[in-house]
Amino acid sequence: MALIVEVLDRVGTVLSRVRIGDRPLTVGRAFDNDVILDDMYVDARHARIHVAEDGSVEIEDLGSINGLVQLQGKERMPRLAVQPGTQVQLGRTILRFRDPDEPVPPALTERAAAGLPVHGLLDKPWWRAAMCIGAVALVILLSWLMLYERQSAAIAIGIGIGYLLFGALWCGAWAVASRAVLGRFNFFGHFAVFSGLTIPGLLYSSASAWVLFIFPDNPISAPVGFAVWLFLTTASIALHLGFASTMNRFRRWRAGAITAGAITVMFGLLAWAGSEVFTDVPTFNAILKPVDTRILPAKDVAGFSELVQELVQEADEMAED
């Protein structure tokens, strides 16, 4: 029975594969071995693999310091019969035996073959450029609409530049991480992710201000806003990881969700700690928008008493605490 021996590191990455023929193979750290292991815990001549007359394959310890350990058994063995699927540990290296007739899946596209997930629009240079320019333009436009001072345009452009600098720092950090993990920076990919998520974030917060003006103190805006924030944070981490790791889609989104959850818990704790601190500054909804006032749900003046009673009761409850 012919077999393939795979050399794996401890995390399971395949380092090399050697076909076992009729001739015995020597395994060790010395360069004259048939299977050379780059592992300080492996002897110069550690083991030998040979095929018996009946075709069965066996691995034999050549008196090494750390010996042979069958992975499932965790015990040191002087010799061991192997078949497809057997895994043996030598020092910190694992030898895995496989059947040469095992089928292999078809080749992937170039990007996936390099271990990188596929990103769709984020990989298309025109879309990247459109997202970056669109995000900066939106930041400047929305800033300008919020300003009413003499140099509003200059301040808005300054805010746009600040946004770009922040993005460069954020994406630069991701790019450095990508370089460490994958060997490439992917800076523009990260910048596309950053810009691509800024746009829905800004559009949502603008839309939400209008909703809060038309329906002040509504009970829905806050939870919806929180859900949108959670989604955008999760998506941000997941998409950045797409350019910075070889994780599959599920693991990337899970990592994003965990990060968003952790940030939520952190801010939740901060808010909880802060809620006990006394302040004489009120918080209230002061948003005003130019809408046709006929669409505003309004009450007559007599109906205002309801709010007075509600607030007085709340204040009484606070005083009695």
Partner 1 sequence: MVHKATAPRRRAAAVLVTLAVLPGGAVAQVQVPSSTVTPGVFERYADQVVKIEVVETSSSAKVSVGTGFFVTDDGAVVTNYHVISDFIHDPDRHRIELVDPTGPRTPLEVRAVDVVHDLAVLASRLKPAAHFDLAPISVAQGERLYSLGHPNDLGLSIVEGTYNGHLQHTLYPKIHFTGSINPGMSGGPTISEDGRVIGVNVATSGNQVSFLVPVDRAAALVRAATAPGYEPPDSTLELIGRQIMAYQAEYLDGMFDDSVRTVELGPFRAVTQPAPFFRCWGDSYREPELPYESVTHSCSTDDWLYIASDQWSGMVTVTHQLLTTESLSALRFHSLYSDVFGEDNTPYGAEEHVTRWTCGTRTVRNETSPLRAVLCVRRYRKFEGLYDAVLKVAVLGKRDTGLVSTLSLSGVSRENIDLLSRRYLERIAWR
Q: At closest approach, how far in Å is the CB of 178 from partner 1? A: 39
- Which CB sits closer to partner 1, 13 or 279? 279
CA distances from 116 to 30, 109, 197, 245 (A): 35, 10, 21, 7
Q: At closest approach, how far in Å is the CB of 184 from partner 1? A: 43
The distance between the two most distant Cα atoms of the chain, rounded to a whole number of Å, is 103
Q: Which of 71, 133, 145, 165 binds partner 1 (CB under 8 A)?
A: 145
The vertex-14 CA angle with 12 and 19, nearest 5°, equals 130
Tell whether residue 149 is a contact of partner 1 (CB under 8 A). yes
Collapsed DSSP state (helix, strand, coil) of residue 302: helix
Q: At closest approach, how far in Å is the CB of 208 from partner 1? A: 14
Q: At closest approach, how far in Å is the CB of 169 from partner 1? A: 28
Q: Which of 114, 258, 265, 315 binds partner 1 (CB under 8 A)?
A: 315
Q: For partner 1, what does the binding mask look like between residues 253 and 282, x meaning CB under 8 A?
A: -------------------------xxxxx
Site for partner 1 in 205-234 (CB under 8 A): 216-217
Q: Which stretch binds partner 1 (CB under 8 A): 4-12, 14-22, 101-109, 302-310?
A: 302-310
Give DSSP secondary structure letters for 19-71: EE-SS-EEEESSTTSSEE---TTS-SS-EEEEE-TTS-EEEEE-S-SS-EEET
Alpha-carbon gap, residue 221 to 264, rounded angstroms: 17
- Which CB sits closer to partner 1, 250 or 278? 278
- Which CB sits closer to partner 1, 99 or 217? 217
Alpha-carbon gap, residue 11 to 94, rounded angstroms: 10
Q: At closest approach, how far in Å is the CB of 222 from partner 1? A: 14
Collapsed DSSP state (helix, strand, coil) of residue 181: helix
Q: At closest approach, how far in Å is the CB of 279 from partner 1? A: 6
Give DSSP secondary structure letters for 236-289: HHHHHHHHH----HHHHHHHHHHHHHHHHHHHHHHHHHHHTS--S---------
Residues forming the site for partner 1 (CB under 8 A): 144-150, 152, 216-217, 278-290, 293, 296-305, 307-312, 314-316, 318-319
